Amino acid sequence: MVPITPYHYLVLSAALFTIGVLGVMLRRNVIIIFMSIELMLNAVNINLAAFSQQWQNAIGQVFAIFVIAVAAAEAAVGLGIILAFFRNKDTLNVDEMNTLRW
Amino acid sequence: MLEAIVFYTLAVFTLGFGVLVITARNTVHSVLFLVANFLCVAVLYVALAAEFLAVIQVLVYAGGIVVLYLFVVMLVNLKAIPEARVDPRRRSRLGFVLAAALLAEVSAILVYAGSRSPMAPAPGAPATPAPGNTETVGWLLYTDYLVPFEVASVLLLVAMIGAILLARKQEA
């Protein structure tokens, strides 16, 4: 059995990222789309941690922590927008969020 | 050997929960699968010797962000919404094709990079035993990355104020 290299983690991360992209593309519930974005951010963090281990350098982990902080900010603001939108339109369907669409 | 077993088990669980997140019909189930996914990723961080990151993952993601999601899912009463109408202009098959193209592209990059330079574990491994992971990360955060760290705290403050303003009931 081959030893586990950072390469394995990169493949896993690519697959997880694609699952997130599929969620964004296929679902219409805006909360599910937000969760798919969190999945993609997690995939990126796995990449950062894998490279951090490969180079024996903790900077990758520091960047992953920044990514987590930005994800927390994004989730707070995004969910606030979702609440405000739901209050006005009574829907969570992204196909009906077309007020700004030409 | 043990490492391989742990990795493959965790990989299967991570991807499986990820698929369940985007396929679950009930949004609450989706959020709970997301928690399981985050916990699996946290164990992956431990396997990658990033213990501090694993703790942060559990605290911030599984503890904080997911609770926020659950609050919003409970606040918006999804049962009251009639079956979502489908935009006729929406093309789901195109989404599949685009995601498959992305996967093919990333796989091609991985195969290409793997064939050119097989990843040697730790080329610049230090001879001396490294200090604890938390100590290293904390040292970096408070020396080299002090300014980004402070900017991140300001960003979180702004996000907090923005979320309160956005979600507040309008009295006008």
- State ipTM: 0.90
Q: For residue A60, give the 3-state DSSP assignment.
A: helix
Q: Do B76 and A15 touch (CB under 8 A)?
A: no
Give burial (CB, 10 Å; 0-12/13-18/19+) of A61.
Answer: buried
Ordered domains of chain A (ranges, CATH): 28-91 (1.10.287.3510)
3-class secondary structure, B114 = helix
* pLDDT of amino acid B127: 46
| pLDDT 10s digits, B125-155 | 554 445 678 888 888 889 999 999 999 999 9
pLDDT given for residue B95 in this prediction: 81
Where does the pLDDT of residue B118 fall: very low under 50, low under 70, confident under 90, or very high at 90 and above? low
> Which pLDDT score, from 0 to 100, does residue A91 have?
80
The C-alpha atoms of residue A45 and residue A64 are separated, in whole angstroms, by: 5
B55-113 pLDDT tens trace: 999 999 888 899 999 988 888 866 655 555 566 666 778 888 888 888 888 888 888 88
State the DSSP string of A8-23: HHHHHHHHHHHHHHHH
Query: Which positions in chain B touch A62 (Cβ < 8 Å)?
Result: 137, 140-141, 145
Retrieve residue B120's tokens: 């040697």
Cα of A27 vs its chain's centroid, Å: 15
Task: Tell me the whole-structure pTM to 2 decimals.
Answer: 0.86
Closest CA to A21 of B103, B106, B88, B107: B103
In angstroms, what CA-CA distances link A89 with A92, A96, B120, B156? 8, 9, 54, 28
A50: helix, coil or strand? Answer: helix
Selecting from A22, A52, A62 the residue whose C-beta is nearest the C-beta of B145 gives A62
How many angstroms away from the CA of B102 is the closest CA of chain A? 7
Inter-residue contact B18 to B34 (CB < 8 Å): no
- Taking a contact as any Cβ pair under 8 Å apart, which residues of chain A between 15 and 54 contact chain B? 15-23, 25-29, 31-32, 34-36, 38-39, 42, 45-46, 49-50, 52-54
Q: Do residues A17 and B37 touch, judged by C-beta distance below 8 A?
A: no
Tens-digit pLDDT string for chain A (102 aa): 677 788 889 999 999 999 999 999 888 888 999 999 999 999 999 999 999 888 888 888 999 999 999 999 999 999 998 888 888 888 888 877 777 776
CB atoms A7 and B110 under 8 Å: yes
Q: Which of B1, B124, B156 sits opposite A56 (nearest CB)?
A: B124
